[in-house]
Amino acid sequence: MELNLQSTVMLNNGVEIPRLGLGVYLAARGEETRQAVRSALVAGYRHIDTARVYANERDVGAAVRESGLPREDVFITTKLWNSDQGYDSALKACERSLKELGLEYVDLYLIHWPVPGRRLDSWRALETLLRDGRCRAIGVSNFMEHHLDELLARAQVVPAVNQVEQHPFLYQPSLLRHCADKGIAVEAYSPLTKGLRLTDPRVVEVARRHGRSAAQVLIRWCLQHDMIVIPKSTHAARIRENATVHDFALSPEDMRQLDGLNEDLYTGWDPREVP
């Protein structure tokens, strides 16, 4: 797989999204987030993943502006938080996020969680926002097969993306196939298991064979499964390390070994339990 930081995936509405982005969950508002985003942009990242609930949209926007890069060169995602779900409140929440970011539009706006009873109204709002040009693409996050099927039965617009937790310790091929069948790109969040499994000897062994770090192997695993991937770090050296994944490849045997590590490890909430 030929890959670099400029490699993109074409979403189902023709919008291109860089395959690798920087996540900023738990990057503290203020200088920590600004510094992380600045480091990423200098390293060549062109995709930043934030959310209303991360409380750092303002710093993401500021760092992108400070970089001097043209707005259209950076792909920015934010997300609708659970307490803002519903038609009118979702419209308002998007405007609030745009104001915080200091942007006229976001590249991707996601429903953060499939909140029962309100997610379909929220989706109608996202369809409106897409039509009005406030987002270039809309999608969902933490949607399992049953949430997707319910949405697809009523939606006018098919979600461009489903952002879900995926890594070798939480590998859900049936969900990935389901998304592929519907034309929905998958973004892997917490691809580094939030740091919990970076010393797992089986991952470390694969990494050693390639002369790479465990983090690089986990990121590469996502990419070779055709996922978009958004590792988080606030350290410039790690931000660079996490992006240096284009100059090696995991073999089919490496991939099989890593696929075999699944233990349904959710490092965050488990969306399968959401009715």
Ligand X SMILES: NC(=O)C1=CN([C@@H]2O[C@H](COP(=O)(O)OP(=O)(O)OC[C@H]3O[C@@H](n4cnc5c(N)ncnc54)[C@H](OP(=O)(O)O)[C@@H]3O)[C@@H](O)[C@H]2O)C=CC1
Ligand Y SMILES: O=C1CO[C@H](CO)[C@@H](O)[C@@H]1O
Q: Which member of 24, 62, 76, 140 binds ligand X (CB under 6 A)?
A: 24
Cβ-based neighbour number of residue 99 at 10 Å = 12
Which option in ligand Y, ligand X, none does residue 232 bind, with CB closer than 5 to 8 A by kind?
A: ligand X
Q: Which is nearer to ligand Y, 51 or 64 (CB)?
A: 51
Nearest approach in angstroms of CB 252 to ligand Y is 32
For residue 202, CA distances in Å to 74, 167, 257 come to 36, 14, 8
Catalytic residue among 54, 109, 171, 189: 54
With contacts defined by CB under 6 A, name the span among 7-15, 20-28, 68-76, 199-207 that binds ligand X.
20-28
Q: Is 225 annotated as a binding residue?
A: no
Question: Cβ(143)–Cβ(115) under 8 Å?
Answer: no
If binding is defined by CB under 6 A, does position 243 make contact with ligand X? no
Q: Is 54 a catalytic residue?
A: yes
Among all residues, whose Cβ is closest to ligand Y? 25
Q: What would you report as the CA-atom Rg of the chain, rounded to the nearest whole angstrom?
A: 18
Q: Which is nearer to ligand Y, 33 or 224 (CB)?
A: 33
Task: Map residues 2-41 to x or -, x wherever contact with ligand Y holds by CB under 6 A.
Answer: -----------------------x----------------
Size of the residue set binding ligand Y (CB under 6 A): 5
Cβ-based neighbour number of residue 154 at 10 Å = 9
Q: Which member of 36, 51, 185, 250 binds ligand Y (CB under 6 A)?
A: 51
- Residue 252, classified by CB atoms within 10 Å of its CB into exposed (0-12), middle (13-18) or buried (19+), is exposed
Question: Cβ(57)–Cβ(31) under 8 Å?
Answer: no
Structure tokens at 138: 């809309």
Q: Which member of 20, 230, 243, 258 binds ligand X (CB under 6 A)?
A: 230
If binding is defined by CB under 6 A, does position 268 make contact with ligand Y? yes
Nearest approach in angstroms of CB 79 to ligand Y is 7
Q: Which is nearer to ligand X, 131 or 208 (CB)?
A: 208
What does the CA dihedral 65, 40, 3, 110 come to, rounded to 10 degrees? -60
Cβ-based neighbour number of residue 69 at 10 Å = 12
How, if at all, do strands 228-229 and 47-49 pair?
Answer: unpaired
Contacts to ligand Y by CB under 6 A: 25, 51, 53, 268-269
Contacts to ligand X by CB under 6 A: 23-25, 49, 112, 141-142, 163, 189-195, 198, 213, 215, 230-235, 238, 241-242, 268
Q: Which residues are catalytic?
A: 54
Q: Output the known binding site for substrate.
A: 112
Q: Output the known binding site.
A: 112
